[in-house]
Amino acid sequence: MEKIRYAIAGSAGRMGRTLIEAVQQDPEATLAAALEHSASPFLGRDAGELVGAPCGIKIGADVDAALAVSDCLIDFTRPEGTLQHIEACKRHKVAMVIGTTGFSAEGKAVIAEASRTIPIVFAPNMAVGVNAVFRLLDVAARILNQGYDIEVIEAHHRHKVDAPSGTALRMGEVVAKALGRDLAECAVYGREGHTGERPAPQIGFSTIRGGDIVGDHTVLFAGGGERIEITHKSASRMPYAQGALRAARFMRGRGSGLFDMQDVLGLR
């Protein structure tokens, strides 16, 4: 089987470098292109040098040139950049793995529309372990459906620009769906001042930003006399990168469609 040719968006960033490293370690993958914005000081550098393994692929800003030699674009950047990349992927019929978070409803609609033309795996968290936690939360919420208050606590590094994280929001969505609630109606994002008693249907979110925390997520089910906590902690970004490559392999031979990691892992 031929290797999958990858283009990496935001290649000089923290996640981009991890993706380059993951591609270099995968015998089924090859790095075809590395992208950065037009003002990046990394333009023209060997992408592999960023992870200590030169590969001959120069970092560039020409998206169309990159996609012309690629089978899949992996994008963990920001919504505005990802939406531009979607249009280019449609032109070149290139699959996308989207790990970017913080999209508006309009942005998500653009992704859904694009999936009619190209295959897309779009997930708030590509790590296999996190997606296992999503399934555990569904089971726990159905069991602990009475007498338990639910709080979602997440922590990330100081550079993260959206809050709560996409993973935390998905955790809330999973729990709310299992309980037959609408997260938009029952979610509370932080508390301050005289808030009054906590309503039972509420799902609370707490956000921590600091240092170099890769990503910690906990869902707390607090009942009378006991607490159940389901936690996932990331020690590195490599599980996200490995999950993204697994997502790309899942899309082999698919002409179009919108998928998430639950599809990739066969958890539907």
pLDDT digits (tens, 9 = 90+) for 61-108: 999 999 999 999 999 999 999 999 999 999 999 999 999 988 999 999
**Residue 202 tokens, joined:** 């509420």
Nearest-angstrom CA–CA distance, 136 and 217: 13
* Mean pLDDT on 189-205: 95
Q: Tell me the pLDDT tens digit for each residue of 47-74.
A: 999 999 999 999 999 999 999 999 999 9
pLDDT score of 124: 87
3 is catalytic: no
Fold of 128-234: Dihydrodipicolinate Reductase; domain 2 (3.30.360)
pLDDT score of 37: 95
pLDDT band at 266 (very low <50, low <70, confident <90, very high): very high
**85, 156, 217, 232: the active-site residue:** 156
Q: What is the pTM of this model?
A: 0.86
Token pair 């008693």 in the structure block, residue: 197
Amino acid at 143: I
Domain boundaries, the chain: 4-122+237-264, 128-234
pLDDT score of 19: 98
pLDDT score of 268: 78
Residue percentage of the chain with pLDDT more than 90: 97
Checking if the pLDDT of 223 tops 90, the result is: yes
Nearest-angstrom CA–CA distance, 5 and 28: 9
pLDDT score of 127: 94
* Mean pLDDT on 104-119: 97
β-strand pairing of 203-209 with 148-156:
parallel
Return the bridge partners of 96, or none.
73, 120
What's phi and psi for 178, nearest 5 deg?
-60, -30
156 is catalytic: yes
Cis geometry, peptide bond prior to residue 164 (ω within 30 degrees of 0):
yes
**3, 92, 160, 177: the active-site residue:** 160
The average confidence (pLDDT) of the chain is 96
Residue 189: how many CB atoms within 10 A of its CB? 14
pLDDT score of 212: 95
Fold of 4-122+237-264: Rossmann fold (3.40.50)
